[in-house]
Structure 1
Amino acid sequence: MSKTLLITGCSSGFGKAAAHLFAKRGWNVVATMRHPEAGKELAELPNVLVNRLDVQDHASIVASIAEGIGRFGGIDAIVNNAGFGVYNIFEAVPLEKMREQFDVNVFGPMEVIRAILPHFREKKAGMIVNISSGMGIFGLPTGSPYNASKFALEGFSEAIQYELAAVGVTVKIVEPGAVPATNFPARSAAETGFSPVPEDYAAFCKATADLFSGFIKGADKDAVTKVTETIFTAVTDGTDQLRYLPTDDIKPLVTARWKKGETEYMAMMRNTFMPKGI
């Protein structure tokens, strides 16, 4: 029998692309999203169930999982893909927006995992893939809300992989770099108009924005394909590898984070990300 995957955040980006990829390769797919009307294209596929799942709505999580099990007889893997990024000077980000960042990027995956675990324990098998980011590995200026949420997701994932291995469940993390080909940057840009940024930060923000614009232009042009292929590999490769790094653009920073000493690494990052003369 075909295996079944549940993916959150399938209305666009990695989630939508991954749903198509898994379905094409013979998997049953529970493609979930906050607004199922955005999934009409996926709903036309015979082995795809599109339903509503809002990671901030516990009832929708439970109902979506139950509907997927009812349709396909079980769920073998989940991909926690739903998420967004808040970028701004920390002082200008309201507390409620920080809480929303954690509700979606951290507590959302936690709730999905909590809801699926009884089913996985009954099967004595299951796969959990959490979509993180390079910003779950290294901190960047004006990215503190998103950084904090992804650092939390990474720590959570690393911790639970030990205990869940005891009940036959594997946990993995996929860490993409910049993703200009999805609607993630647009959603993130819409989240930046909060409290006015104090004038003291103006020069720093301008220099940082110019720097990041260059990074986006240098993003991996095949990011969506590479990330979705990596998600498929993580789910199907039969290993207990924890972390997967699909795109090339952030590999130098990740390598520096893991291989350089703290003093050398921080000196390199400050030289790169602290604009000169400010």
Structure 2
Amino acid sequence: MKGRRTALVTDVDRALGRTIALKLAEAGHRVMAGAASLQGLDDLPRETYARGLIELVKLDTRDASSCESAVAETKRRLGALDAVVWAGGFATFGPVEEETEADAQASIDANLHAPWRVLRAALPCLRESPGSIIVAVSSAAGRVALPMGGAYSASRFALEGLCDALRLELASFGVDVCLVEPGLLRDRVHELEKQSVSAKNLFGVGPSSPYAALGRAATRGYRALMGKAATHDQVATVIERALRSKRPKPRLAVTRGTAAVMLARRILPDRMMDKRLTRAVKKRS
């Protein structure tokens, strides 16, 4: 098992990033917790009994210079950097025909361009430290596209492709690249409910839309899966284990359900997989 890491964790101003930062610190890792705004985060180092193991740094993943500054500050203050945990993400949902180009661009910017900036800034440090690791929180939607999530799936597929390429490019430097795939997070439906005007349709599909029935079915499907959805703590636990592993797997499913979907995606022909997904939706329509 690997010893204590020095990790840069992104997006700690959101619940998932915060949980990951705390989990790593409580396990003994040194953590530089980054966020675009540090307002309201002064209590983060005090939330863990591992006092002094979390420090804060401004990290705006929309700005390449901010990413470079955060990496330099991490190395200056902590003396090293041998782990980067990408915990960000953004989702828009709806049928492809009805989502706007702005919706798609927002997903691509948040789920591909932002991690690209962070990783590109950190790579020189990671290459200088054999045994370093990159962990990116992705999604099962980056392996299996579902209705009402075209733009989101496209952005997650892109992140997975980026990480697959990095894994090959960095192998000779002894740097591991690991994708963590939670599947549905327990708070996702709650976020959709806040954004939606209809309790029967969480995807913004109007009653006159040709996709209205599909939207209602997908809504029921999401709600039915909530009991099996991953928690932030489960995701953080998987990430902490990856940081301690001598040889972490390239992809780590957080729940058994997600692992089953990933297995089906690998072994089933595309048309058979399509039939299974279509049948699952029709059962709820």
- Mean Cα displacement is larger for which, 195-204 or 129-138? 195-204
Cα distance in structure 1, aligned partners of 2:21 and 2:168: 28
Alignment match, 2:61 = 55
Offset at 1:92? 2.3
- Mean Cα displacement is larger for which, 46-55 or 211-220? 211-220
Q: Secondary structure, in 3 states, of the residue corresponding to 1:123?
A: coil
- Mean Cα displacement is larger for which, 132-141 or 262-271? 262-271
How big is the alpha-carbon RMSD for the aligned residues of Structure 1 and Structure 2?
A: 2.4
Amino acid paired to 2:42 = K
Offset at 1:48? 1.0
Offset at 1:4? 0.8
- Mean Cα displacement is larger for which, 202-211 or 111-120? 202-211
Amino acid paired to 2:63 = D
Offset at 1:216? 2.2
Cα distance in structure 1, aligned partners of 2:88 and 2:280: 30
- Mean Cα displacement is larger for which, 227-236 or 124-133? 124-133
Cα 1:128–1:86, aligned 2, differ >3 Å: closer, same or farther? Answer: same
Q: Secondary structure, in 3 states, of the residue corresponding to 1:239?
A: coil
Alignment match, 1:225 = 233
Q: Which runs of 4+ in 1 moved over 4 A?
A: 184-198, 274-277
Alignment match, 1:12 = 14
Cα distance in structure 2, aligned partners of 1:163 and 1:52: 28
Any conservation in 2 of the 1:87–1:191 contact (CA below 8 Å)? no
Alignment match, 1:207 = 217
TM-score (norm 2): 0.87
Cα distance in structure 1, aligned partners of 2:63 and 2:8: 16
Structure 2 unmatched ranges of 5 or more = 198-202
Cα distance in structure 1, aligned partners of 2:127 and 2:273: 42
Any conservation in 2 of the 1:86–1:191 contact (CA below 8 Å)? no
Cα distance in structure 2, aligned partners of 1:107 and 1:43: 29
Alignment match, 2:31 = 29
Give 1:1-278 correspondences, 5 Å limit.
2-44=4-46, 45-181=51-187, 184-187=188-191, 197=206, 199-220=209-230, 223-274=231-282
Offset at 1:263? 3.1
Amino acid paired to 1:247 = T
Offset at 1:3? 3.0
Q: What is the CA deviation profile of residues 40-85 of structure 1, one whole-angstrom value per residue up to 9, with x for unaligned ones?
A: 2213341211122121111211111111111101111000111121
Cα distance in structure 2, aligned partners of 1:204 and 1:195: 12
Offset at 1:270? 1.5
Any conservation in 1 of the 2:221–2:284 contact (CA below 8 Å)? no
Identity of aligned residues (%): 27
Structure 1 unmatched ranges of 5 or more = none
Q: What is the CA deviation profile of residues 136-169 of structure 1, one whole-angstrom value per residue up to 9, with x for unaligned ones?
A: 1111110111111111111111122011111221
Any conservation in 1 of the 2:94–2:204 contact (CA below 8 Å)? no
Cα distance in structure 1, aligned partners of 2:235 and 2:186: 13
Cα distance in structure 1, aligned partners of 2:276 and 2:109: 33
Cα distance in structure 2, aligned partners of 1:253 and 1:196: 26
Offset at 1:260? 2.3
Offset at 1:191? 6.3
Q: What is the CA deviation profile of residues 173-229 of structure 1, one whole-angstrom value per residue up to 9, with x for unaligned ones?
A: 100021124xx5555556678997562222221222122221224424xx2222111
TM-score (norm 1): 0.89
Cα distance in structure 1, aligned partners of 2:277 and 2:205: 27
